[in-house]
Chains A and B, each alone.
Chain A
Amino acid sequence: MSAVEDWQAIARNDLPELQAFECADPVTSVYSRSRRQRVHPAPWELEVQSYLRSLKVRAEGLVLVGRDPNGIVAVAHLIPAPKLGGTLIAAVGRANRVRGQHVGDEALDECVSRVETEFVVARIDPRNAPSQRLFARNGFEKILLDGHYELWGRDLTH
C-alpha cells in the first residue's frame, strides 16, 4: 500500500508546513565544544532538509509535495537542464515519521513519471549510502565522482 496519497505541485498553503519539514535525523546540528562548531552526524541530510525548507512557490522547475492525511510526507525538486536535454533531481526528502515505508522509492517514481526529458541526474553525497541504495534500486547508475558529490543518472529512452 502506498504511503503517499497525493502528489501535487507546491502551493502557497504548503509553505508553513514545508518550513517545518523534518527529514534529517537528528533534526538539528548541535554545538560541539571540542570542535568549536555545530556538528551533525549526517550533514547531507541536514543540507537537504534546509534546502527543502527554503523552497518557494516560484522555485525554478517543479517542486512536488507528497501528502498523507497527516500532512507532508515527501518533497522533491526537479530542475530542467535544457542544454543537456535532461532533468536534475535537486533534492528528494521524506519525513522522518514515515521512515522504512519506502516513501523514497515512491518519490523517485513520481519524479521520473513527471519528467519528459531523455534522462534524469542527481547528486548524492558519497557518504550517503541509503540514498545510493535507493537510486541504484530505481535504475540509476553512478556517472561521476567529482569531489564533493557523486553524479547519478538514469536513461529514460528505453
Chain B
Amino acid sequence: MGLSPRAGEGVARARETIRDARRYSDRMSNARARAVNAGAPLRLRGLPRDSKAGDDGLTAQERRALSRHYKHTAARPLTVSEGDAVRRWREQQRVSR
C-alpha cells in the first residue's frame, strides 16, 4: 500500500514517544498510564481511515495506543526528541550570546 514518504518519520517519532510514555507509566496507576500511553501523538492523521495494523509499520498494540482518545498529554514529561530539541536550542542560545 502506498504511503507518503513522511509516514515513516512519523512512525519513528511515535514509537519513541510511546516508549517514553511506557517508561513513565511504570510509575503510575493503570488509569493514568492508559491516559499517558494514549497521549502519544496521533500521527496517523495522514493515513487513510481504513488503514490496518501493519500498513504503517506499527504493531496492533502501538496503533491502539495511538488511536485512543488522548488526555493530559501536554503535561507529560519531556520526550527524548523534545529533550534533544531543547539541547540544540540551548546550544544555539549559547553560541548567539
A: residues with CB less than 8 A from B are 44, 47-48, 50-51, 54, 77, 79, 81, 83-84, 86, 88, 90-91, 118-119, 121, 123-125, 143-144, 146-149, 151, 153, 155, 157-158
Does the CB pair B78–A146 fall under 8 Å? Answer: no
Chain A residues whose C-beta falls within 8 Å of the C-beta of B83 in the assembled complex: 81, 83-84
Instruction: Tell me the complex Cα distance, A146–B80, Å.
Output: 12
Residue of B nearest to A85 (CB): B90
Residues facing A in B51-97 (CB within 8 A) are 70-75, 77-79, 81-83, 85-87, 89-90, 93, 97
Chain A residues whose C-beta falls within 8 Å of the C-beta of B89 in the assembled complex: 143-144, 153
**One of A88, A118, A158 near B97 (C-beta < 8 A):** A158
Q: In angstroms, how far is the closest chain B Cβ from the Cβ of A89?
A: 9
Does the CB pair B13–A51 fall under 8 Å? Answer: no
**One of B70, B77, B85, B97 near A143 (C-beta < 8 A):** B85
Chain A residues whose C-beta falls within 8 Å of the C-beta of B93 in the assembled complex: 155, 157
The secondary-structure label for the interface of chain A is strand
Chain B residues whose C-beta falls within 8 Å of the C-beta of A90 in the assembled complex: 74-75
Q: Could you list 6 A-B pairs, sorted by A, with CB under 8 Å?
A: A77-B75, A83-B83, A143-B89, A146-B41, A149-B74, A155-B93
Provided the pairs A47-B72, A51-B72, A158-B97 are in contact, do residues A81 and B90 lie with their beta carbons within 8 angstroms? no
Chain A residues whose C-beta falls within 8 Å of the C-beta of B78 in the assembled complex: 81, 84, 88, 121
Q: In angstroms, how far is the closest chain A Cβ from the Cβ of B63?
A: 16
Residue of B nearest to A90 (CB): B75
**B42 interfacial contact with A, CB 8 Å:** yes
**B43 interfacial contact with A, CB 8 Å:** yes
Chain B residues whose C-beta falls within 8 Å of the C-beta of A44 in the assembled complex: 74
Does the CB pair A144–B90 fall under 8 Å? Answer: no
Provided the pairs A84-B83, A155-B90 are in contact, do residues A148 and B75 lie with their beta carbons within 8 angstroms? no
Chain B residues whose C-beta falls within 8 Å of the C-beta of A88 in the assembled complex: 75, 77-78
Does the CB pair B74–A151 fall under 8 Å? Answer: no
Does the CB pair B74–A125 fall under 8 Å? Answer: yes
